[in-house]
Amino acid sequence: MIQPTLFAGCEPEIAAGVDGRILAVGGGARSAAGRRARVVRLRGRAWPGLIDAHVHLEGLADRNLTLDLTGVASLGEALSRIKTWSETLPPDGWVIGAGWYNDAWPDSAFPTRAQLDRAAGGRPAFLRRKDGHSAWVSSAALKLAGIERGTEDPLGGGIDRDQRGEPAGILRETAMQFVAALVPHPADAELDDAMARALADLAALGLTGVHAMDTSRGFGSWQRLRARGALPLRITYNIPLADLPHAERIGVRSGWGDEWLRIWGVKAFLDGSLGSRTAEMLDGSGTARLFQPDLVEMVGRCARAELNVCLHAIGDGAVRRALDALAPHREAWSGWRPRIEHAQCVSPKDVKRFARIGVIASMQPIHAVADRELVEQYWPKVSAHSYAWAALERAGVRLAFGSDAPVESADPMAGIEAATVWRRKAHWHPELAISRPAALRAYTLGAAYAVGMEKDAGTLRPGKLCDLTVVDEAGVVATVVGGQVSFLRKPPAASRRSASKPRSRP
Ligand SMILES: [Zn+2]
């Protein structure tokens, strides 16, 4: 940019300087931009750029590379899709995919390896469930991984068995790693192309930033894409717990990087998921994935290393353990912003403490829409405390909203709808819905705060980064990141022309 930019025609109008930051908002924007400004004509409302506080970018990229079973309506349909896909592969090629979701099938029983063996033509197959907390694997994959009748369940995971005690074809939680470790990865160039498409898709949904829960493979890809040109949105990276020793050794702290690509927290799993029946509940059900002494040690190490923590906790038991571990570290360091990811079920006894010790609730409203029936089935006694955005907000807990894509759609408009009007429409604990301004705040300032960027993003103020999501009744008009347009909706040229043309027939 060699001259300022004026985003005109939207409400409010906004001037961006050559440094990509906001010069002026509203009445003063035109004069602040000056007469020589580059003018981008828009319409609709300009919001602070929407930020998704929890996405899996590798998962989104992989969907462009592997078999995507999202939305498949039955086991039969899944098997026929697997068969068609497998037939394009060499006889010993891996069948890799994700997105199947037996809870949405007419028969919700978990599928078996025998079914998969036939569809995959005897190939090794590794198909992650939609929630990523279990995987459907074939006999060839089990054989390559050395999993057999006598193999013991690993700590924090499980191998489903059939009546004869043989592995049935479903691996849960940490047991997935036996096979996941063998799955071949695409070449960097292939991954980068798929990643670039995934990022462009997110920009088209109006997102100006994401908090990524990924691995070094994703981080490598974003760095290569960044070197190739501008990223279409900002990425804050949360490293997996397994990489904590490396972060400690190189001395990286939360916030290292720049506004486009930076490192923030350490992500750890305390439990599994509601869908996989592995959420750790106070009633004793579920699976603890990180035991309390290890969790306490991890939080202490992160606090000392000036790294933040993103603790995945879905069940009320896991949430309580997270709060127990975080409580002694209230003032760990100046940039301490501990987060609990998902917090899908929080005991009313823990809500006040959640706020008092300054823990951020990083939640994904769209999960409530997808999980409602499961909650009624598995959590009937706690549904009034589940996805309890309003109860947490009222208690003073800071909310950061996101999608958990590709587990759910990354569309922030769907998330805002879920958090605000959906509960009333669905007649499901409408008192837990929040207001539209509160939902927008959780997708903007709340998400910015959750990665220490509240001084740079989250509101439209002079001096902040010029990140905008411009929307009208039909959805996202434009996405602007650092004063640059990363997405612009195509004008509906054809329809406009035909509408203005005189009709030949009444
Ligand atoms: Zn997630």
pLDDT tens digits along 175-222: 999 999 999 988 999 999 999 999 999 999 999 999 999 999 999 999
CA of 280 to the centre of ligand 1 (A): 16
- pLDDT for residue 493: 60
CA of 214 to the centre of ligand 1 (A): 9
CA of 60 to the centre of ligand 1 (A): 12
CA of 312 to the centre of ligand 1 (A): 8
CA of 23 to the centre of ligand 1 (A): 36
- pLDDT for residue 1: 56
- pLDDT for residue 186: 87
Q: Which pairing describes strands 67-68 and 95-100: parallel, antiparallel, or unpaired?
A: parallel
* Structure tokens that stand for 483 in this block: 């004063």
DSSP per residue, 83-114: HHHHTTS-TT--EEEEEE-GGGSSS-SPP-HH
> Residue 482 in contact with residue 472, Cβ under 8 Å?
no
Taking the C-alpha atoms of residue 490 and residue 476, their distance in angstroms, rounded to an integer, is 11
CA of 273 to the centre of ligand 1 (A): 10
* Inter-axis angle of helices 316-326 and 292-304, nearest 10: 40
Q: Is the dihedral of CA 51, 56, 58, 61 positive or negative?
A: negative
CA of 229 to the centre of ligand 1 (A): 28
Residues in the chain, overall count: 506
Taking the C-alpha atoms of residue 419 and residue 399, their distance in angstroms, rounded to an integer, is 12
- pLDDT for residue 257: 98
Taking the C-alpha atoms of residue 5 and residue 455, their distance in angstroms, rounded to an integer, is 22
50 three-class SS:
strand
Which strand ranges, in their side-by-side order, compose the sheet holding 399-401?
50-55, 207-213, 234-240, 261-269, 308-313, 339-342, 360-363, 399-401
CA of 347 to the centre of ligand 1 (A): 21
Which residues are within 8 A (CB) of 72 and not within 5 positions of it... i.e. 6 or more apart? 78, 81, 99, 100, 101
Neighbours of ion ligand 1 (CB under 5 A): 404
CA of 90 to the centre of ligand 1 (A): 32
* Structure tokens that stand for 284 in this block: 């004793």
Q: Is the dihedral of CA 12, 17, 19, 22 positive or negative?
A: negative
CA of 213 to the centre of ligand 1 (A): 7
CA of 2 to the centre of ligand 1 (A): 40
CA of 248 to the centre of ligand 1 (A): 24
CA of 362 to the centre of ligand 1 (A): 10
DSSP 335: T
Which residues are within 8 A (CB) of 55 and not within 5 positions of it... i.e. 6 or more apart? 202, 210, 211, 212, 213, 402, 403, 404, 405, 410
- Give the N- to C-terminal CA distance of the chain in Å, as an integer: 51
Per DSSP (E only), the strands in 162-260 are: 167-173, 207-213, 234-240
pLDDT tens digits along 145-177: 999 999 999 998 999 999 999 999 999 999 999
Pick the closest to residue 50 from 478, 375, 495 (CA basis). Answer: 478
How many CB atoms within 10 Å of residue 89?
15
The kind and range of the H/E element at 268 are strand 261-269
Enumerate the β-bridge partners of residue 468: 48, 480
- pLDDT for residue 255: 97
> Residue 79 in contact with residue 257, Cβ under 8 Å?
no
**Which residue type does 372 have?**
R
From first to last of its 506 residues, the chain has per-residue pLDDT tens of 589 999 999 999 999 999 999 999 999 999 999 999 999 999 999 999 999 999 999 999 998 999 999 999 999 999 999 999 999 999 999 999 999 999 999 999 999 999 999 999 999 999 999 988 899 999 999 999 999 999 999 998 999 999 999 999 999 999 999 999 999 988 999 999 999 999 999 999 999 999 999 999 999 999 999 999 989 999 999 999 999 999 999 999 999 999 999 999 999 999 998 887 889 999 999 989 999 999 999 999 999 999 999 999 999 999 999 999 999 999 899 999 999 999 999 999 999 999 999 999 999 999 999 999 999 999 999 999 999 999 999 999 999 999 999 989 999 999 999 999 999 999 999 999 999 999 999 999 999 999 999 999 999 999 999 999 999 998 999 999 999 999 999 876 654 444 444 444 43
Torsion angle defined by CA atoms of residues 22, 23, 24 and 28, in that order, rounded to the nearest 10 degrees: -160
Burial label, 325 (beta-carbon count in 10 A; 0-12, 13-18, 19+): buried
DSSP 420: I
What b-and-e string marks burial along 109-132, b requiring 16 or more CB atoms within 10 Å of the CB?
ebbbbebbbebbbebbbbbbbbbb
- pLDDT for residue 429: 96
Half-sphere exposure of 327 (CA within 13 A, CB side): 11
Taking the C-alpha atoms of residue 11 and residue 46, their distance in angstroms, rounded to an integer, is 6
Token pair 């999960």 is found at: 367
- pLDDT for residue 491: 77
Pick the closest to residue 429 from 394, 370, 381, 387 (CA basis). Answer: 387
Percent of the chain that is helix, strand, coil (3-state, to 5): 40, 25, 40
CA of 335 to the centre of ligand 1 (A): 23
> Residue 192 in contact with residue 221, Cβ under 8 Å?
yes
- pLDDT for residue 143: 97
CA of 137 to the centre of ligand 1 (A): 21
